[in-house]
Structure 1
Amino acid sequence: MESLTKTQDRDAKRSKTESETELPQDNEEIRTLKEQYESLISKKKSLQRELENVMPQRLASSLMQEVTGGKLPDYTTSALQREVLVRAVKTAEKRKHEDILWAYRLAGLSAKVEGTTAMLTIETSRSGQYFEPFYLELKFADKIHIGHHTVPYFIPLKSIASSHLNSNAKLFVSTVHRHLNAYVSRRQQAYDTQQQHKDWISGRVDASYAVDYVHFTLKPIGALEEPLEVRLLYTDLKSSLPEVVKITPKDAQTVHAGVKRWCRQQKVTFKEQQLPEAVTILILSLTGTN
């Protein structure tokens, strides 16, 4: 009996010892679980902050791109929030369009708006006289796109739009306006020169379609016995004055060096004056009546 009691005591101690040796392992598992739990809590809080701060911006950005196409992202949290965001995006788009049209009106242009399309009328003039208008259609979607237009092909419309249309509407329209006004001015200068000085011009004033190159020949005038060839090159299509001027006697090899020097001196006049006025000054200097 005593032996049995001792055996039971030994078993109890052994069980207690084993239990005590297993406890640290259990504590390690508990710590691991606790760390995982805290990590999940941290991730949850991080996601909540993203939902509160980042997601609305991301959602609005996505809506700005997709709302006009009839598609909406799937991560809106409720129908009410979805409706509010759609209204906000449409309002922002409307204000953006209004700002652009306001910029056009500042430039003296008119615009007719129908839905998501605006038709601009760009007037041209020279010396207070109005000439033909040009038309430019803009389509508003996620970005502004150019639709139909009557802008001449030689004006770099796509390049101007790529640089300014969606970033600086006022600069875009003013740049296009400058190109068109400069073109009309060059064209009318060539026409007026032909009309005003036809008695002094041999043949006609020739010009490229963009009127960025002009050529004509002046008849012998005064002491100048040789016809004068006048060539003008407009390298900047936003300008109505030439950057390159060449005035040469038709038979330059037989002309006195003083005449050639005089021709070079006349270049400044053509670079500073409108073409009809520059030709008038040239003629007057040759006839000695200036």
Structure 2
Amino acid sequence: MEGPPASSRQGVLSHLENLEAHAHKAGLKQGETREHQENAVRLKMRIQELRCQRDELRAKLNMCRSQLARSKNTTKSGPQTSQATETSKQALLEWKMENVKGLLRVFHLTGLSGKLTKQGACLCISTAFEGTYLDSYYLDLLLQQPVRIQHHSVPAFIPLEQIAQKYLQADIKRFCSVLSDHLNAFAGRKFQADQLQEGFAAFLEGPLQGNSLYNLLEFNYSLEGEGRTFLFTAKLVYGDPVRILPTEATVTCKETDDAPAAVSEIAAAHMAFFREKPLHEAFSSIIDLTANLSQAVSLASQPPPSL
């Protein structure tokens, strides 16, 4: 039997290009929408941070004025000076406690909550992905000089020590915000990998390979087309530790020797999906693209109706 005529093959390739262009535009649009939403959330959090900083500055100014007024009214005697110093320390500690109370109120709507303890505060950072609540992590802070982390349940592969060294003493709000970004990104990447394995196990060839941080994933998957089964390998690299989408995506077909030329174009479309959508959503789009392509090939291979 002769294969489909050249015009039919041209029609299939043209249909494939249209599908890829449509998928790429849809992915870009969704990416822009998600980016706008993320920017809006960041701006709201920034507004809250600035308001807290304003309140802190007012509290510091009032405390300095109070200390200055007390120092003018005290004598130079040793016991009185010592008492004034103790009063100043107590005022500083009370200001820190009030600052933490304000933090707990501000962060309650952003996935952070907690309560005051006798020695400081216990913070809870809750993670979520697209409306699905995931794991929670806890930190016990000692409000002393310097502020210390007494206990925590943060995974070892999250750079907690580096984040604490950079922000904990200078800006505790920033410390909580950055740590929350790291934990939410990790939880989001893990959630996507779990959804892929649970929802698309029939297409996966072998287990998904990755590290504890889920910032490097590799897996094989098979798709049927043109009466054959093609095996693809995907490698995703998440170069930004606070992002849920990969910064690099590579897709290759293992059967390239006798594979149709269109397979390389299909792999390129897969890479675009992986870069622009969450992992399980990208794979769903890949399956839809494959189904549409198979339907187009089937229609093109049918003989023309007789007149």
Q: TM-score, normalised by structure 1?
A: 0.68
State whether structure 2 residue 148 is matched by structure 1 residue 121: no
1:150-165 matches, cutoff 5 A = 150-165=153-168
Give 3-state SS (helix, strand or coil) of 2:166's partner: helix
- Structure 1: gaps of 5 or more residues: 1-56, 61-75
Bigger radius of gyration among the two:
1
Please state how far the C-alpha of 1:195 moved relative to its aligned partner. Answer: 1.3
Q: Which amino acid aligns with 2:264?
A: K
Deviations along 1:199-227, whole A, 9 cap, x unmatched?
21122323211111112211132236321
Question: Cα RMSD (Å) of the superposition?
Answer: 2.2
- Structure 1 Cα separation of the partners of residues 198 and 138 of structure 2: 29
Give 3-state SS (helix, strand or coil) of 1:288's partner: helix
In the alignment, which residue of structure 1 is the partner of 2:84? 84
Change (3 A) 1:211 1:97: same
**Which of these residues, 231, 239, 245, is aligned with residue 241 of structure 1?**
245
Please state how far the C-alpha of 1:107 moved relative to its aligned partner. Answer: 2.2
Change (3 A) 1:104 1:166: farther
1:193-232 matches, cutoff 5 A = 193-223=196-226, 225-232=229-236
Please state how far the C-alpha of 1:254 moved relative to its aligned partner. Answer: 4.5
Q: TM-score, normalised by structure 2?
A: 0.65
- Structure 1 Cα separation of the partners of residues 152 and 256 of structure 2: 46
Question: How many pairs are equivalent?
Answer: 217
Change (3 A) 1:92 1:287: same
In the alignment, which residue of structure 2 is the partner of 1:47? none
Deviations along 1:111-140, whole A, 9 cap, x unmatched?
222222322111111221222210112112
**Which of these residues, 166, 171, 189, is aligned with residue 192 of structure 2?**
189
- Does the CA contact (< 8 Å) of 1:194 and 1:205 recur in 2? yes
- Does the CA contact (< 8 Å) of 1:221 and 1:283 recur in 2? no
- Structure 1 Cα separation of the partners of residues 82 and 221 of structure 2: 73
Percent identical: 26
Q: Which has the higher contact order (CA 8 A, sep 6+)?
A: 2
In the alignment, which residue of structure 1 is the partner of 2:105? 105
In the alignment, which residue of structure 1 is the partner of 2:177? 174
- Structure 2: gaps of 5 or more residues: 1-63, 68-75, 296-307
- Does the CA contact (< 8 Å) of 1:216 and 1:229 recur in 2? yes
- Does the CA contact (< 8 Å) of 2:116 and 2:122 recur in 1? yes
